[in-house]
Every structure is written in structure tokens, then in C-alpha cells.
Structure 1
Amino acid sequence: MAELTWHCERLTALSAPQLYQILALRARVFVLEQQCVYLDPDGLDLQAWHLRGLNEAGELQAYARLLPPGLKGPEQTEPAIGRVLTAPEARGQGQGQQLMSQAVAEGRRLWPGLALVLSAQAHLQRFYAGFGFVPISDVYDEDGIAHIDMRLP
């Protein structure tokens, strides 16, 4: 398993090339690969924390966005992990495990004592359960993909 170097920063700390890498990889995975046509830069990036996993060459291999409580509105009472992805060329090497371990650790660091929530693709429910996440909703459709809300107490 190739170890990645991790960085968790606010948008204002990212350089233009770093932000470009994030947006390009999110478009590759969510828009092109998963064929979900939606406005990815949704305004939440401005106040979110951006977790990036870089390989030795400085290439973005894994990413997650951490949202503070309330950023999505008053109904979002707990911090959320979203936009979770690994680069297609990096899959099968353990980066997803590293990414979620790091995302949970950063969420605990940023918001100690609070539960973390995420909207998981339903077929990845077992993966997230391995980190302690439990379902808190029924399966629902989001952009043509079955999802389930999960929570880590």
C-alpha cells in the first residue's frame, strides 16, 4: 500500500493549481465516471475543509470534503464528510482506507465530541460500517445512484 501525504486545509490556504486538481478529479469521478450531471462547485467549498492525499509525485490521489455543522442549513446539526473519492488509477491500493481513517481523524480534531455524518453510496455501506458508521436513513436515489445516510457517533 502506497502511503499518501495528507493535507487538510480551508479553501483560502489552497493554491490555484491545488484547487484545480481537486475540481478536476471531482469532475472525473462524479461527472464523467459516475455520470452525475450537477453543479459541483456548490458554494459549500468556500467554508469547507479540503482533505487531500498526495502521492510522492505530488499528484492528488484521494480527497474528501469536511463540512462544519450548519453549513448546509439548520437541519445539518453535525459535521459532514462528503465528496469522498480516490483517483481511478489509485484504486485497489488501500487509499480509500487511508482516506476514511484520515477524514474521521480530521473530523474528530476539528469538531471534538460531535458525531460525523455522510451520505454513502449504498453499495459502500459495508465499507463505511468498517469505520463505525451506522445507517440513519432508508436507501434513496441521488443523481441516479442509491445512497444511504450514515452516522459515526
Structure 2
Amino acid sequence: MDEPVDQASDVVRSAPFADLDPLTAYGLWALRSEVFVVEQDCPYLDLDGRDLAPRTRHLWIDRAGAPVATLRVLDDEADGGALRIGRVATARAWRGRGLAARLVTAVLDGAGERDVVLDAQSHLVDWYAAFGFVPSGRGFVEDGIPHTPMRRAGG
């Protein structure tokens, strides 16, 4: 955590699963497990098969070759062709530096006319609202954590 904040070095990387090298893939899943399973105490099957879909994109920022922030974008037609952001995670030591915001912004910049949807942990609704997301349905509890469905209209 002694490394200074330097947004110029926070390159957002993006790849489908087939293009991830094994060390990067391992790092992405280890980070997600660290945040969701260990920190948030939510034992769940993170490897749901959707990471492998040809149109799924993995975005991340790394330091010294290890991912410190990540998210995935599902590109399917289940929600009217919207892109779905999920698995947003930042390593504890790297939080508060705007890394997750850089990743979300990269998705929105590439979305074009498409809507973008997500299920926000409810305590983060205001954070996502700053990107133009609005609640789009009834809240629900998943893995013991309240969530709120949100949508950002394309265009």
C-alpha cells in the first residue's frame, strides 16, 4: 500500500477467458474469492460457468503482475441485450483509489447504445448512481447481503 496513487499506471486490461494467461486468470479468481468468500463471509460457487462464455469480458487493473481490482461483463441477450456488470472486487489494500470506478467507466465507455445493468450491494447504490445507474426493481437478499437491481440507459 506504500505505492503512490498514479492513475496513469492504472491501465484497464480487458480480455475474454480464452485470452487470459493462467496466472492472470488465477489472480482474478483469487481476488474475487478473497473479497466475496473470505471478507464478506459468503460461501458460494463463484465459478458459475459464465466466465467462460465467449462474449464475457474480464476487466482488471494490476500491480506488479497481480490483479488488484476486477469486474466481469456478461454480454447476453437475457435482459434485452444489456451488458451486465458483476463480480466487482478490489483488494482491501487498494480500495479508495478509484480503481473500481476506472473499471466501471471503461465498461460504460464501451457500451455504446446498450443499456448496462447490475445488482448492486445496496450500500453501494449511491456510488453506482454517480455513474448514472438508477434502481430498476425490487431489492433482494443474496448470500445474506441486500442487493438492488440497477440500470443505466445506453446512449
TM-score scaled by length of structure 2: 0.88
* Secondary structure of residue in 2 paired with 1:98: helix
- The one of 23, 27, 51 equivalent to 1:21 is 27
- 2:135 match: 135
Deviations, residues 47-83 of structure 1 (Å, cap 9, x unaligned): 111001123x22211101000123xxx4564210000
Deviations, residues 34-57 of structure 1 (Å, cap 9, x unaligned): 1111111100001111001123x2
TM-score scaled by length of structure 1: 0.89
Q: CA RMSD in A?
A: 1.4
* Secondary structure of residue in 2 paired with 1:105: helix
Structure 2 gap ranges (5+)? none
CA offset at residue 117 of structure 1? 0.2
| Aligned mates of 1:103, 1:41 — CA distance in 2 | 21
* Secondary structure of residue in 2 paired with 1:89: helix
- 1:10 match: 16
* Count of equivalent residues: 145
Of 96-105 and 138-147, more deviation after overlay is shown by 96-105
Amino acid at match of 1:65: R
Matches within 5 A, 1:31-70: 31-47=37-53, 48-55=56-63, 57-70=64-77
* Secondary structure of residue in 2 paired with 1:5: coil
- 1:82 match: 86
CA offset at residue 15 of structure 1? 0.6
Percent identity, aligned pairs only, is 38
| Aligned mates of 1:75, 1:10 — CA distance in 2 | 20
Is 1:113 matched up with 2:117? no
| Aligned mates of 2:6, 2:96 — CA distance in 1 | 11
Structure 1 gap ranges (5+)? none
- 1:97 match: 101
